[in-house]
Structure 1
């Protein structure tokens, strides 16, 4: 059953006007509310697992292409490469 805009506003307690106002604030770089702590960027820590570095050399052109692709997905290079490896390993266990 499809809900009307009014039903959704009632359900979530937020009006379309409020959402538009919040969007405009975010575009200006203003974040409502009180800060709750330091923003930590990066991969979540893996507790209880020993981590080792993995690295390889690649051409500058390929690294630039990797960075462009990662950026287009909203990822950093390392997150993009981890994501690719996870996808391939998952596919290999299914195949």
Structure 2
């Protein structure tokens, strides 16, 4: 198996993984006990309310124009901002 490179750039070899697995099997965990923070996977929440999905179809030409208007942002962010301005 190839070495693993973590998000921070650290390299973990197979031998290190084996040592960590053996230690974990013995109940030996490095570091100090602390509080675990568990959150749902995925991107951060947009707001504190429950979200619903709203979908509709548009012609390809309109989608391209929306993407151009959104620029570096996402189409969904662009559409949310339009709706927010309209209902404000």
Alignment TM-score, normalising by the size of structure 1:
0.44
Structure with the bigger percentage of strand: 2
Higher Cα Rg, which structure? 2
